[in-house]
Structure 1
Amino acid sequence: MPMLKLDNDVNLYYSINGKGTPIVFIHPPVITSVNFTYQMEELSKHFQIITFDIRGHGLSDFSKSPLTYPLIAKDIQALLDHLQIEKAYICGYSSGGSIVLEYLLTFPDRALGGILVSGMPDVNDEYLRKRISMAIKLAEAGAKKVLAWTISIGNANTKELFKIMFSEACKGDIRNMEQYFRYSLQYNCTNRLEEIPHPILLVYGNKDKPFHQYAQLLHEKLPNNVILFIEENHRIPTKAAKELNECIKQFCLSHHPNPDGNS
């Protein structure tokens, strides 16, 4: 089981599949890198797919240092250093999309571009703030299995995937999960989006109406982006995997033809 030792003896679990242009995937709170099962299976035929469990999630150790987006971005850089990868595409789903933006702002020379799937630069609508606040209250109450069940059942598209998602989510530490949720309410990089020159792919669900405002905001403010809508709700990586994988494949190959992968 591949592990990277970080500061304070925190072991970070990661997986790497395929060869060619590297793409790193970032999961939202509670659920783990298992959420990208279909991306690992399909996109690894064309690219080097890197997934990891954020500190305190899944198979990665609990972090004594509070979980923040800058800390997670630093961990991604450390992982790329460990794998001797100079630059990669950084892909994040939901809250993971905010970490993509933080990474691009902090380590611009270590990225080929960004991919945001149902992502946002901040949380500014009441609907989403209430959902996250409820998750924080559940975390404070120690209701890890409730959170794990709710989020896993929402994202899984088969019983088999649900069982794996739920099992892996239950292995995490509720304290770091709470910190991840809590930080999402305070993070805001909207005023810095113009500083990101990288090519960005924005992917949203047509039915995910609350997130359309974030899609429009990012599309207007990011200097170099393409926006695509898929006939799905919020949970695109699992429930519209075929469409998402094709979007990612075409986007990455259009910017970096992949002589080492099978295109």
Structure 2
Amino acid sequence: MAMLDVDGISLYYTVKGNGIPIVFIHPPVLTSLNFKYQVEELSQKFKVITFDIRGHGRSQYSRSPVTYPLIVKDIKHLLDHLKVNKAFICGYSTGGSIVLEYLLNSSDRALGGIVIGGMSEVRDKYLKQKISLGISLANKDAVPILALSISWSNSNTQKLFNKMFNEALKGDARNIEQYYHYSLHYNCTHQLEKINLPILLVYGKKDKPFYPYAKLLHEKLPCKELKFIDHANHQIPTKAANDLNERIKHFIYTHVMNSDET
């Protein structure tokens, strides 16, 4: 089990494959296991890096509150440890917001971004209520309920559910609440025009509550591609893995394979 010490905190991470590096960022409660199908498929062409955010899965509880800037800092520590200069940063759901935060403040360590069902701010009632429920349950130390619900909705087999659920159960309620809380109040919409690196935006065609977020990012980001996956809802990394992986491969081949910056 690969662990990295960052300021006294042990972070769990995995690395598989060679080539252009891609770092994957999971949302609250879930863990790096959410990207099982990306690790399996994309590692045949790229260096796939996953990690458990502080207080999630196999990573230790963090006395420092979990915030997006702290997560970005941890990613850069991980890249330094792996001797990776620049990488593609890929995030799912609220992990997509961290991609934007990373590109805004650490563009010198990035080749570009991939945002899967992500947002630059939480502005609609549906998502506010959903995240607020996560905060409330974490505050009540009801991580098992969160782990059960979220692992079930994001798994496509009983075997994967069992694994995702068991990993999610290891999370610390305090850090999970902090991650949810920061996500609820984060807003970088007014800074999006500053991101000049290429970004792939991927959303499910059935995920209609996220249409406004897709439209907003598509309008504001200078260098972006927006793709919708047919018959997919929000849980794209696990339930539309093949389509997602193909889009990621095509995007990287198009934008990065000819670059000498890796």
Q: TM-score, normalised by structure 2?
A: 0.97
Please tell me whether residue 255 in structure 1 is matched to residue 255 in structure 2.
yes
Q: Distance in 1 between matches of 2:5 and 2:128?
A: 34
The answer as to whether partners of 1:12 and 1:53 remain within 8 angstroms in 2 is yes
Q: Distance in 1 between matches of 2:128 and 2:208?
A: 15
CA contact (8 A) 1:21 1:258 kept: no
Number of the residue aligned with 1:25: 24
Amino acid at match of 1:111: A
Q: Secondary structure at the match of 2:144?
A: helix
- 1:4 aligns to what? 4
Q: Which runs of 5+ in 1 are unaligned?
A: none
**1:55 pairs with 2:54:** yes
For residue 258 of structure 1, report the CA deviation from its aligned partner.
7.4
| Contact 1:118–1:205 (Cα < 8 Å) also in 2 | yes
Paired AA for residue 172 in structure 2 = D
Give the unaligned 5+ runs of structure 2: none
Percent identity between the aligned chains?
62
Structure 1 runs, 4 residues or longer, greater than 2 Å off: none
Match in the other structure for 1:85: 84
Give, as a single letter, the amino acid of the residue that structure 1 aligns with 2:86. Answer: K
For residues 215 and 256 of structure 2, what CA distance do their matches in structure 1 show? 26
How far 1:255 moved relative to its partner? 1.2
Shift of 1:34: 0.3
CA contact (8 A) 1:55 1:176 kept: yes
Could you say what secondary structure the match of 2:85 adopts?
coil
Deviations 1:199-240 (A, max 9, x none): 000000000001000000000000000000002000000000
Displacement, 1:249?
0.4
Q: Deviations over 1:104-139 (max 9, x none)?
A: 111010000000000000100011001111111111
| Residue 254 of structure 1, CA deviation | 0.8
The 5 Å alignment of 1:149-188 reads 149-188=148-187
Mapped to 1, the partners of 2:120 and 2:101 lie a distance apart of 9
Following TM superposition, by how much is the alpha carbon of 1:160 offset from its aligned partner in structure 2, in angstroms? Answer: 0.2
Could you tell me which residue of structure 1 aligns to residue 239 of structure 2?
A: 239
Q: Take 1:135 and 1:256, find their aligned partners in 2: how far apart are those partners? A: 37
SS of the residue aligned with 1:257?
coil
Alignment match, 1:40? 39
The 8 Å contact of residues 20 and 258 in structure 1, kept in 2 or not, is answered as no
SS at match of 2:34: helix
Contact 1:3 1:12 survives alignment (8 Å): yes
Corresponding residue SS for 1:62: coil
- Once residues 256 and 46 of structure 1 are traced to their aligned partners in structure 2, the CA distance between those partners, rounded to angstroms, is 13
CA distance in 2: counterparts of 1:15 and 1:78, whole angstroms: 14
**AA aligned opposite 2:203:** Y
Question: What is the identity, as a one-letter code, of the residue corresponding to 2:242?
Answer: K
Shift of the alpha carbon at 1:22?
Answer: 0.3
Number of residue pairs matched?
258
C-alpha distance in 2, partners of 1:249/1:188?
29
1:59-79 C-alpha deviation (Å, 9 max, x unpaired) = 000000000000001100111
SS of corresponding position for 2:254:
helix
Normalised by the length of structure 1, the TM-score is 0.97
